[in-house]
Chain A
Amino acid sequence: MKKRAVSILLAAALAAGALAGCGSPSGTGSAEGNTETGTEEGSAETGTEEGKVINIYSWNDEFRQRVEAVYPEVKETSKDGTVTTLKDGTEIHWTINPNQDGVYQQKLDEALMNQADAAADDKVDIFLSETDYVNKYTDADADAAMPLTDLGIDPEKDLADQYSFTKVTASDADGVQRGSTWQCCPGLLVYRRDIAKDVFGTDDPEAVGEKVKDWDTMKATAEELKAKGYFAFSSYADTFRLYGNSIAQSWVSPGETVIKVDQKIMDWVADSKEWLDAGYLDKNVKGQWNDDWNKAMSSSSKVFAFLFPAWGIDFTLKPNWDGEDGAWAVTNPPQEYNWGGSYVHACTGTDNPKHVKDIILAVTGDQENLLKISKDYADFTNTKTGMQQAAKDDEGFSSEFLGGQNAFKYFAPVAENIEIAPLSAYDQGCVELIQNSFNDYLQGQVDFEKAKANFETAIRERYPDITEIQWPE
């Protein structure tokens, strides 16, 4: 009987171990509720002595490069890129987690939850967010990002030269600015000069610009490209931003739990299907940020153009291009759009408010620094007057990668005309899942209604508080 009892116990232990392996909700119960207490502590600490370590959360080393380039206090960065030492001995610790699959946000959220309990040198001081989810962190109730005025930055005065839509994006519902960015992401069309010559007989940006000036013309051009065996774009995901960032209403209105799918999104689905079936897009490239997509940017690819903002050219296209410099050129896109933008936030509870203020001002509010970033990294930076200068200065801002072309001439007018789509805290999930769900439809795996149903299932899983999904008529 005793042996029997032990065996049962062991069997139970085995099964229990199996269960514990999948659930793992332990520990979180005690971590909740700390956020509110953290706020008070954080503001009380402001103005006291500065900590020795500045913790910065980001998803790649883009921000580190910018800080190293323009923040005058930087002394050196360790070889592995995890620690930057400042001249006064303060260390910047970089915590980098990839953006894909929400990993970055998971790690950041975890750190923010523990912010109040963390030792001063472990507290998050600066974190970055992308346009897709900036709203989640600037939310006044969440109180994760400090209002800039609390740091001693006056957005009206110190950041007056920034493009106003970037300031709106970084503000909470009451219009309090809680973040700032050094970049502004007007998008252009980047095309291969050799393909343009082959098909149109010219690679002149003005002439090619005429060929792609709006969607109807673009379609005719795509037909021309197809006749010569080229693809207009690599995948339907490439055009998504042009539609998705010009939606008329936000995915979820403030205070509501209803997802309203915009007509523009459905237009994207319909147009993508048409383009894909017509052979204007490469069927083998499914979505972005994967191997196939990267290969589509190489010299062996048949893809004519990509739709990229400045960071995309420098950070994505350039590393994937294996040919000579000067093979690509930019021109106006078929529709003005904005894609991305990394916002810098001071984290509530930081123990280094002075350094944080200095870094934010140096990287996002100083015209000279911003122009330097533009020159060195071909970033389109957040300074209106600076960019107007750059657009005229063909000498100083020509890009070798673009064969000596001054891309700012094309970026600046797009930036002036950007109207940022209304944001919500649910944007990232919506943008990601709608593309995933309709991927199956575009690839011919499921019918239209099934794709809609799959989106509804997936979005409810991601955001349990969503009560209804409304589709346009």
Chain B
Amino acid sequence: MEKKHKKIDYAKWGYLFILPFFVSFFIFSLIPLVDTIRYSFFEYYRSGIKEVGPNFVGLENYISLLGSDMLKYTGNTMMLWIIGFIPQIVIALLLAEWFVDARLKIHGTQFFKVVIYLPNLIMASAFAMLFFTMFSTNGPINSILMSLGWISQPVDFLGSVTGTRSLVGLMNFLMWFGNSTIMLMAAIMGISPDIFEASELDGCNSVQRFFYITLPQIRPILAYTLITAIIGGLQMFDVPQILTNGQGTPDRTSMTLIMFLNSHLKSKNYGMAGALSVYLFVVSGILCFIVYRMTNNDDPDGSKAAAKKAKKQRRG
């Protein structure tokens, strides 16, 4: 206690080292952010090469967005996301379980881990271009199907709602399932092997082990994966943008929120685009908050309810 005055203060070095982040965050993120919110209350766009505004219009942008098809595009976005996410999480769970399972003794796990992660390294737009060419009416997929004799007329994949949405889903699935697999593998490897050994001694089969041990144990990470995927899904745009040439064809059914935002930015409509960004910001903010609550629980199970229950039991 008497040596207290001699204690060296390392904290300032810590602050110094994180300073670059905060400076660049302030310049490149915070200022544009505040600007976006400010412009969302203005009428501000370009007609030809003539500027209109900025004129203060209050909440008009927000109201007219609610009156537009914004909710339809939200629906589109969620739909496209779900089509990709369900196979993504199912396959990822399955692969993670298999790769980690010591008894299966899969050879070359390391190799497969790299391979399944590879699609994520390709630029989304390049990936979309590839699919666009492959699935066009004169493309190789149609030629193969026709030469196999499975179809007589070329299938117009990109001309139908189901076709376009499935393709977007498929691409998102291919791009992201490797990422989820690796994350879930880390989670499964974090489970204490004692539990698995104990269950084996009790005669537990692999299905039971998956549903009663693995799944409950990785719930926090699973929830985290889910929320970050939703946030990523909300901002989905590159794949459908390239695949449908920015039109969200057919009938605007594959138009996502960010593509909607982009079509406002074509006329440099900062007011309307700003208001839409603020809506997105609020939704992502709420989701981030949920993640924060979830990852900051001391309870191993990860849920508040379970924590309360455990407390009660301890007391009782």
Interface residues of chain A, those whose CB is within 8 Å of chain B, are 4, 7-8, 11-26, 28-29, 32-33, 35, 101-102, 109, 112-113, 136-137, 139, 141-142, 144, 284, 286, 291-292, 295, 425, 436, 439-440, 443, 445-446, 450, 454, 457-458, 461-465
B28 located at the interface, meaning its Cβ lies under 8 Å from any Cβ of chain A in the complex: yes
How far does the Cβ of A258 sit from chain B's closest Cβ, in whole Å? 14
Q: How far is the CA of A28 from the CA of B161 in the complex (A)?
A: 37
Residue among B138, B160, B285, B292 making CB contact with A284, cutoff 8 Å: B138
The prevalent SS among residues of A at the interface is: helix
Q: Which of A20, A139, A144, A291 contacts B28 (CB 8 A)?
A: A20
Residue-wise interface mask of B (158-179) relative to A, using a CB-CB cutoff of 8 A (1 in contact, 0 not): 0111000000000000000000
A142 touches B49 (CB 8 A): yes
Q: A19–B277 Cα gap in the complex (Å)?
A: 6
Which residues in B have some Cβ–Cβ distance to A below 8 Å? 25, 28-33, 35-36, 39, 45-52, 68-69, 133, 136-138, 154, 156, 159-161, 231, 235, 245-247, 249-252, 258, 260-261, 263-264, 266-270, 272-274, 277-278, 280-281, 284-285, 288-289, 291-292, 296
Residues of B within 8 A of A291 (CB): 133, 136, 138
| Bound Cα distance from A14 to B51, whole angstroms | 33
Contact yes or no, A440 B249, CB < 8 A: yes
Contact B156 A20 (CB under 8 A): no
Q: Is the CB of A20 within 8 A of B250?
A: no
Given the known inter-chain contacts A32-B51, A295-B138, please indicate yes or no for A15 contacting B281, CB distance below 8 A.
Answer: yes
Q: Is the CB of A464 within 8 A of B154?
A: no
Chain A residues whose CB sits within 8 angstroms of the CB of B154 once the complex forms: 284
A461:B267 contact, CB within 8 angstroms:
yes
A26–B32 touching, CB < 8 Å: yes
Distance between Cα atoms of A32 and B159 in the complex (Å): 41
Question: A18 touching B266 by the CB < 8 A rule?
Answer: no
Asked if A440 contacts B251 (CB within 8 A), the reply is yes
Question: Chain A: which residue is nearest B132 at the CB level?
Answer: A291
User: B288's contact among A11, A445, A461, by CB below 8 Å, is which?
Assistant: A11
Q: Could you tell me if B263 and A458 are in contact, using CB atoms closer than 8 angstroms?
A: yes
Given contact pairs A102-B266, A465-B45, a sample of 11 additional A-B residue pairs in the complex whose CB atoms are under 8 Å apart? A16-B281, A18-B284, A21-B235, A22-B258, A23-B35, A23-B36, A23-B261, A142-B48, A439-B249, A443-B159, A457-B69
Chain A residues contacting B137 (CB-CB under 8 Å) are 284, 292
| Residues of chain B within 8 A of A18, CB atoms compared | 231, 235, 280-281, 284
- A464 near B36 (CB under 8 angstroms)? no
Cα separation A366 to B185 with both chains bound (whole Å): 73
Residues of A within 8 A of B46 (CB): 109
Q: How many Å from the CB of B242 to the closest CB on chain A?
A: 11
- Asked if A25 and B263 sit within 8 Å, CB to CB, the answer is no
Do A446 and B250 contact each other (CB < 8 Å), given the known contacts A16-B29, A25-B273, A284-B154?
Answer: yes
**27 cross-chain CB contacts under 8 A:** A8-B292, A11-B292, A12-B288, A16-B281, A18-B231, A19-B278, A20-B33, A22-B261, A23-B277, A25-B36, A26-B32, A28-B270, A102-B266, A109-B46, A112-B49, A136-B49, A144-B49, A425-B48, A439-B250, A440-B250, A445-B250, A457-B69, A457-B252, A462-B266, A464-B45, A464-B264, A465-B45
Across-interface contacts of B250 in A (CB, < 8 A): 439-440, 443, 445-446
On chain B, the residues within 8 Å of A463 by CB distance are 47, 267
Q: Is there an interface contact between B296 and A465, defined as CB atoms closer than 8 Å?
A: no
Query: A residues within 8 A CB of B292?
Result: 7-8, 11
Report yes or no: A25 in contact with B251, Cβ–Cβ below 8 A: no
Q: In the complex, A29 Cα to B249 Cα: how many Å?
A: 33
Q: Which of A11, A24, A139, A457 contacts B291 (CB 8 A)?
A: A11
